[in-house]
Amino acid sequence: MIPQASTYAASIDNVIILVGVLVGFWFFVAEGMFFWLIWRFRARDGVRSEYIEGHEKHLKRWISWPHGLVLVCDIIIIVAAVQVWYNVKQRLPEADSTIRVIGQQWAWTFQHPGADNALDTPDDIFTVDELHVQVNTTYHFLLESRDVLHSFSVPVFRIKQDAIPGRTITGWFEPTLTGEYDMQCVEICGIGHGAMASRIFIEDQQAHSDWVRTAAVTQAQ
Amino acid sequence: MAHTATQTQVHHETHAHEHHGPQGILKYIWSTDHKMIALQYLFTGMFMGLIGAYFSYVFRMQMAFPGMSVPGFGQVSPGEYNALVTNHGTIMIFWVAMPVLIAAFGNFCIPLMIGADDMVFPRINRLSYQVFLLSAIVLIISFFVPGGGFGGAWTAYPPLSAVAEYNQTNLGSSLWVLAVALEFVAFLLGGINFITTLMNSRAPGMKAYDIPMVCWMIVIASILFMLSVGPLIAGAVMLFMDQTIGTGFFDPARGGDPVLWQHLFWFFGHPEVYVVLLPAVGITIDIIATFARKKLFGYKLMLYTTVATGVLSFFVWAHHQFVAGIDPRMANVFTITTLLISVPIAELVFVIIATLYGGSITLTTPMLWALAFIAEFLIGGVTGIFLGASGADIYFHDTYFVLAHFHYTFFPIAIIGTFAAFTYWFPKMFGKMMNDTLGKIHFWGTIIPFNVIFIPLFVLGMGGEHRRIYNYEHFPELAGDGMFLLRQIATVALIVMLAFQVVFFYNCFVSWRKGAKAPKNPWKANTLEWTTESPPPHGNWPEGLPNVYRGPYEYAHPDRKEDYWPQNEPS
């Protein structure tokens, strides 16, 4: 699996593993039963098939019990999925910093708050296809689009959100690992969609403030 | 390869009408016989299927070997790539799965299996096919207009699909919407016929629970289709007007809302999955009952479960939109409804598995296909749970995991289900037996490569590979040797699978020309279509329509010496 670089990445992976275990169980039981029956009841000379209507109570149990178990598994999965969903998408924790992410055909523009840590001030840093964030910091992102639908996806965070023209969608993440990773546009957005690649740089406090300083200078020139 | 197959196809069509007596080409095109219309739908669907398969070959080659000149196509540009993936999806769902499973087998089976001489509205039936043919022609034209075919994915999300400046395929996208809308009209006309015919034209004595499951399934699917398609037709008209006369239904700058389209599309789009699934399930049930020599385990249970699935399928659509910008609280509701639909679907599978118990199973070619449908569809079913669970879907949305998941549902439905039905009813359709050895070679040559194509795609999806990407070399983390190896394995398996389809067309041709003459009831089945000649003449039962005395699955009944009991035989 790819690295878990946000506070909630592990919880999303855990839902995936939980679902994997539960449906894996059903899958092997059902396929096992299926192939065993095909083999067990293969046509043999002189053996006639049985006449079973399927209305008998003791036979219907073979359907209704597994049926109830499926329902129980569903409920477990629903509870787990909704909890994670609430944490990642519905809840919005207090932010240490806010960035703006703007999709357009076919590039991402990132607006960083700059040294004053406030967005929409003169010292904001604009970059294209390069997002710089600081580790262990809670970020809000304001997601916008200038033309068609795009989708902002950071696989190492396990976060994904479509951008819609005319709307600002707010989400959050908190990076936990430093490093440089891929980001993708995952909603088809025209002929350049396949090349709409960008990178995220997760830096520790020192490296990040160094970057803010250099970027401010470069931008001023 | 695609070319030779197409030619075989054409041969078939020519021979098909020679076979039906000395009719001119016009007589053939204007036929109102349900069996002829079924064949028209079948061959048109198969022809479109070859186009869709060819598209998949081209874009899979580009994905595995970016930048190569694909044999039989040439260099693939990003615009062409998008048009290929878009139209592959569009064709396979709207011009293959629907015409073949619903229209072709619905037309062929329903009157024959309920003991009617034809559909109740034969001319509407003919009109349905003609509108369908027109829609296919419009779609094919859209590939060749200036700018090329539409490339905004089969879901056609605006503003990309609505604004020419964004999609750069001005004519292509309008023709695409037009073709889809025409196709819907064709299936509305067809659906009216299926429902009315089942209600009104059953043989004397055939009560509701005596109807073969495949007929029920096609009719329930038609009802689902007719109830769900209205909003999308309205959406298609709005999209068409946005494209052509500059309205702003989906344009936020002019007060529109792009997400509206997504609701209209998926309100139809999710029931649509069940629209094509149910006929395939019905086909599978009938074939399994026949070759396991078993009464269906719980006919009513099956029927009511299916209705429940159909009703539930109207309340799950927004699971396609968890991360699309809808209110996040809505995701909770749709996660619940989506996971609940696994209950009736699991029940359908359990009932089919339970039917095998106590049977006497013969692995003929149609039976292999029917069993493979269950085995493979299960994979599609269980992987769907990952995507219905909102928390997990945040990661999996729009990755190859989704793609592999729905190919594990649609391939069993549209390809495996079709081959099951085709090999099962071939003797009835063409009056000749198919070669079983060639049939089995084709079966294994299709099933094994199918799994080799799509299992690597699950792995790629888990690794974060997202969809509709022209060249993964742009993404360092998706451009590793391991990932390219998996893509190449899938592509090679696809080519192997396509190559094995030559065996199928060869088998059809040889069996049709030289196969043993099919008796009335080669499989010793119970349903009514096996009580008339193979192929049935015009009017189906010239000596008089049959009477029905019992249900369709009375195999191995204790009161009877033979292990089958045709529905029309008086006790």
ipTM attached to this prediction: 0.95
User: Residue B23: what pLDDT?
Assistant: 57
Name the pLDDT band for B29 (thresholds 50, 70, 90): confident
Mean pLDDT in residue range B147-162: 93
Nearest C-alpha in A relative to B479 = A182
User: How far away is chain B from the Cα of A207, in angstroms, using its nearest Cα?
Assistant: 23
**Which CATH number is associated with domain A97-220?**
2.60.40.420
Q: Does A171 touch chain B (CB under 8 A)?
A: no
| Structure tokens belonging to residue A202 | 């997760």
This prediction has a pTM of 0.93
Q: Does B555 touch chain A (CB under 8 A)?
A: yes
User: Residue B25: what pLDDT?
Assistant: 72
Mean pLDDT in residue range B103-129: 95
Q: Does B296 touch chain A (CB under 8 A)?
A: yes
d(CA B430, CA B132): 24
d(CA B87, CA B144): 13
Q: Does A19 touch chain B (CB under 8 A)?
A: yes
Summarize pLDDT for B365-383 with one digit per residue, the tens: 999 999 999 999 999 999 9
Of the candidates B353, B395, B396, the beta carbon closest to that of A34 is on B353
Q: Does B326 touch chain A (CB under 8 A)?
A: no
The mean predicted confidence, pLDDT, of chain B is: 92
Strand pairing partners for A203? Answer: A134
d(CA B220, CA B210): 16
State whether A153 and B468 contact (CB < 8 Å): no
Summarize pLDDT for B523-533 with one digit per residue, the tens: 999 999 999 99
Answer yes or no: are the C-beta atoms of A178 and A137 closer than 8 Å: no
B 194-233 residues with CB < 8 A to A: none
State whether B298 and A54 contact (CB < 8 Å): yes
Pairing outcome for strands A139-145 and A97-104? parallel
DSSP per-residue letters across A36-87? HHHHHTB--TT-PPP---S--HHHHHHHHHHHHHHHHHHHHHHHHHHHHHII
Q: What one-character DSSP code corresponds to residue B41?
A: H
State whether B343 and A81 contact (CB < 8 Å): no
**How large is the greatest C-alpha to C-alpha distance in chain A, in angstroms?**
92
Q: Does B359 touch chain A (CB under 8 A)?
A: yes
d(CA B498, CA B245): 42
d(CA B308, CA B344): 7
Q: Is the pLDDT of residue B397 over 80?
A: yes
What percent of chain B clears pLDDT 90, i.e. is strictly above it? 90
Of the candidates B168, B259, B347, the beta carbon closest to that of A191 is on B168
User: How far away is chain B from the Cα of A209, in angstroms, using its nearest Cα?
Assistant: 26
d(CA B136, CA B178): 10
Of B312, B319, B222, B315, nearest in space to B262 by CA: B319
Mean pLDDT in residue range B109-122: 95
- Interface contacts A/B by beta carbons within 8 Å: 285
For A79, list phi and psi in degrees, rounded to 5. Answer: -60, -45
The mean predicted confidence, pLDDT, of chain A is: 93
Nearest C-alpha in B relative to A92 = B328
Name the pLDDT band for B40 (thresholds 50, 70, 90): very high
- Tell me which of A193, A198, A199 to substitute to probe the interface with B (most B C-beta atoms closer than 10 Å): A193
d(CA B125, CA B191): 9
Asked if the bond preceding B317 is cis, omega within 30° of 0, the reply is no
Mean pLDDT in residue range B165-189: 94
For B403, list phi and psi in degrees, rounded to 5. Answer: -60, -45
User: Residue A61: what pLDDT?
Assistant: 84
User: Residue B21: what pLDDT?
Assistant: 44
Summarize pLDDT for B312-365 with one digit per residue, the tens: 999 999 999 999 999 999 999 999 999 999 999 999 999 999 999 999 999 999
Residue spans per domain, chain A: 9-90, 97-220
State whether A52 and B478 contact (CB < 8 Å): no
Q: Which residues of A touch B151 (CB under 8 A)?
A: 188, 190-191
- C-alpha distances in Å from residue B433, one per residue of B106, B270, B503, B521: 22, 38, 16, 11
Nearest C-alpha in A relative to B382 = A23
User: How far away is chain A from the Cα of B521, in angstroms, using its nearest Cα?
Assistant: 19
- Give exposure, B478-492, as e/b (b: 16+ Cβ within 10 Å): beeeebbebbbbbbe
User: Residue B18: what pLDDT?
Assistant: 42
Q: Does A27 touch chain B (CB under 8 A)?
A: yes
d(CA B139, CA B161): 15
- Tell me which of B350, B402, B478, B555 to substitute to probe the interface with A (most A C-beta atoms closer than 10 Å): B350
Pairing outcome for strands B69-70 and A169-173? unpaired
Residue type, B554: E
Summarize pLDDT for B243-298 with one digit per residue, the tens: 999 899 998 888 899 999 999 999 999 999 999 999 999 999 999 999 999 999 88
Q: Does B241 touch chain A (CB under 8 A)?
A: no
Cα B541–Cα B544–Cα B546 angle in degrees, nearest 5: 80
Q: Is the pLDDT of residue A80 over 60?
A: yes
| Structure tokens belonging to residue A85 | 């969903």
Pairing outcome for strands A130-134 and A197-203? parallel
d(CA A34, CA B356): 8
State whether A63 and B466 contact (CB < 8 Å): no
Of the candidates B159, B339, B386, the beta carbon closest to that of A74 is on B339
Q: Is the pLDDT of residue A69 over 50?
A: yes
Summarize pLDDT for A145-167 with one digit per residue, the tens: 999 999 999 999 999 999 999 99
Name the pLDDT band for B19 (thresholds 50, 70, 90): very low
- C-alpha distances in Å from residue A175, one per residue of A129, A134, B5: 18, 7, 54
Mean pLDDT in residue range B96-101: 95
Spatial neighbors of B198 by CB under 8 A, at least 6 apart, are B110, B114, B211, B215, B216, B219
Nearest C-alpha in A relative to B302 = A54
d(CA B78, CA A193): 9
User: How far away is chain A from the Cα of B330, in angstroms, using its nearest Cα?
Assistant: 10
Q: Count, in order, helices (H) and strands (E) of chain B.
A: 19, 2
Domains of chain B: 2-531 (1.20.210.10)
What percent of chain B clears pLDDT 70, i.e. is strictly above it? 95
Q: What one-character DSSP code corresponds to residue B248?
A: -
| Structure tokens belonging to residue B236 | 């298609």
User: How far away is chain A from the Cα of B270, in angstroms, using its nearest Cα?
Assistant: 19
Mean pLDDT in residue range B492-520: 96
Of the candidates B383, B474, B563, the beta carbon closest to that of A194 is on B474
Spatial neighbors of B18 by CB under 8 A, at least 6 apart, are none
Answer yes or no: are the C-beta atoms of B209 and B121 closer than 8 Å: no
Q: Does A140 touch chain B (CB under 8 A)?
A: no
d(CA B222, CA B211): 16
Strand pairing partners for A160? Answer: A153
